[in-house]
Structures are given as C-alpha cells and as structure tokens.
Amino acid sequence: MSSVDVVVPCYNYARFLTSCVNSVLNQNDVDVRVLIIDDASSDDALLVGQNIVEQDPRVMFRSHITNRGNINTYNEGIEWASGDYFLLLSADDWLLPGALARAARVLDEHSEVVLTCGHAAVAKRDESLPGIEFQNNRPKYRVVTGQSFMETACSNSTASPIWTPTAIVRTSVQKSIGGYSSNLPHAGDLEMWLRFACRGSIAILDAWQAVYRKHESNMHYSFKDLANLRQHLLAFESAFEKDGHKIVNREALREQYRRSLAIGAIHLIEHAPSHNDDTVDEAYAFAKEVFPKIHTTGSWWKMRVTQILGHRTVNFLKSIFAPALTALRRGWR
C-alpha cells in the first residue's frame, strides 16, 4: 500500500482545521499521515491541533512561536514529508472521498507520471457544498507529457492549470525540485507545476478530488487582477530560467506565454469602468512591456474599438451582427 504524506499549513484557520484533517484521515486504500504546521496562529489552532493529535496517531503537529509566512511553512512541510507521495493541503480546504487512492493508483501504474491532478469544487464563504455524485475509484484519466502540459500552460498563462488541493506528487521529485520561491507569494504553485512538467508526465483525472474554500481571509480572494498577471509573469520567467534547458522550443513558448499575459492585460483595459483609471495606464504599459507586438493582435483592436465607441454601442452592435455571423459560419461548414 502506497504511503501519502499530507502537509496541512494552518494560519488562523482553527475553525476549518478539524474538517480538513478528517477528510484526509478518512481516505481509504492508502497509508496516510497528516503533518500539521501551525504558523503562530492567533486563534485556537494550537489547541485544536493538539486535540487532533491526541485522537489519532497518524497525525503529527508542529507550531511556530513566531509567524514565518506561508512560503517558509510550505517548505518546512516539504522537508518534513517522507511518504511515497505528497500533497500540500491548506487547512481551509478538504479532500473528497477516495481522492488519495485514485491518485496513488495512477502514480503506482505510471512511473513516468510525476504529478496527478483533478477537478476541485468551490465552496464560497461558509456555505455547504452541493452534493457530488459517487466517485469511481478508477476514474478515466489522461496522461500528458510534460512538454505538452507546458505548451498548454503557455497558451493560457493567465490561469493556473491545476487546482492546488488536487495536486498529488511524487515526494522524491518534489524534494529534487525543492521548495517554493519566496519571490512568488501568489504564484509559487504555478511555478511549481511548470517545474514538475520539466521532469515527467502529468496525469489529469476526470474526478472531483477536493474542495477549495473561497472566503474573505483566503490568500487569493482579494488579489488584484493586474498584480496577478505580474506574478504569473514572474512564475513563468522563473521556471524557464531554472529549467529552460529541459524545455523544447523554449523561445517560442516564452513568446507564447508573454503574448497571453499581454492579452490578459488588454482584457482588463477593455472591461475597465473608466478609461481615465490609473489601472488602465498600468495595464497598457504591462502589455507593451511583455509583448511589444500587442498592437498586432485582434484583442488590441477590439479593446480600441470599445474605448472609442463605448461598451453600450459595442454590445448593441454585437446584438445585431452576432446572429448573422453565426449563420455565416454555419453556412461555411
């Protein structure tokens, strides 16, 4: 039976900690261990963590005297882990039944796979999650090469390609890569997935693996769009600098992710409530910086038309011409 170490970093998430840990302990067909690291929480996380440890020998607990930050806490967990497979699970998220067994089975059967991932449901605030149908322990999945994964990620560089609470990896590969970068507090996971792709294949499971809880104190909840694009740029640049020698068509892919990020900035301008907003100038400068040829793209011209005519006029024109364009496309087929 494969062993899985699940590191649970916790900072002021005492109210979620028990349900998170129980979702791991209730996993079947794997030898599981939970490693909780409390980063000097000001709530009752210390007491809750100690109580969980007393109830189940599979749980271990550490508590920081002073706050070390999320990145240092993640990296401490990576150093602590020793199981066959590894998962970093925030204390406010939780696993769905069978998640670890499904991932472990794929990793057991495919030595070339270094990372597995799947679907994650989103629970907003403290709302209960709608029911999810029974999950087959042998779901359909596809294995993509690291190069293919990289190409897809570069073509849509504004979004993270993996839900973090579903990313179950080989511990040995995680340790060879090392920890998260302190320069990427909001996109360290993106850099990590890219670096895994440089070392093997990725298995994408057609199964609901975890629940991501979205709430006010969530790290990414209020992170601004343009700042997010800047972090994604840093994540790609860092991964390509560290492991670029492992990437085929490196320069072409570099242009691809920079183009995608520039178009993301143009979309921000297009949907800005006011053209005089400082964010518009910042987004324009970012787009030109990362992809100087941005003015040659369709997204650029669409944004310019919207700026000149206004959202109402553009939407009105769309309502008139869109049906005709759809009919023409159907005719061509």
Give tens-digit pLDDT for 91-105.
999 999 999 999 999
pLDDT band at 40 (very low <50, low <70, confident <90, very high): very high
CA distances to 104, 152, 175, 191, 260 from 257, in Å: 31, 10, 27, 13, 5
Over residues 186-200, the pLDDT tens digits come to 999 999 999 999 999
β-pair partners for 117: 204
User: In the chain, what percentage of residues exceed pLDDT 70?
Assistant: 83
Centroid of chain to Cα 248? 23
How confident is the model over 261-270, as a mean pLDDT?
A: 88
d(CA 152, CA 123) in angstroms, rounded, equals: 27
> What global pTM score does this model have?
0.88
| Identity of residue 314 | V
Per-residue confidence (pLDDT) for residue 269, from 0 to 100: 79
Does residue 315 carry a pLDDT above 50?
Answer: yes
Domains of the chain with CATH codes: 3-214 (3.90.550.10), 257-332 (no CATH)
Please state the rounded mean pLDDT for residues 205-219. 81
User: What's the token pair of residue 204?
Assistant: 């994408």
Which residues, other chains included, contact 45 with Cβ-Cβ below 8 Å and sequence gap of 6+? 10, 11, 12, 13, 14, 17, 38, 63, 91
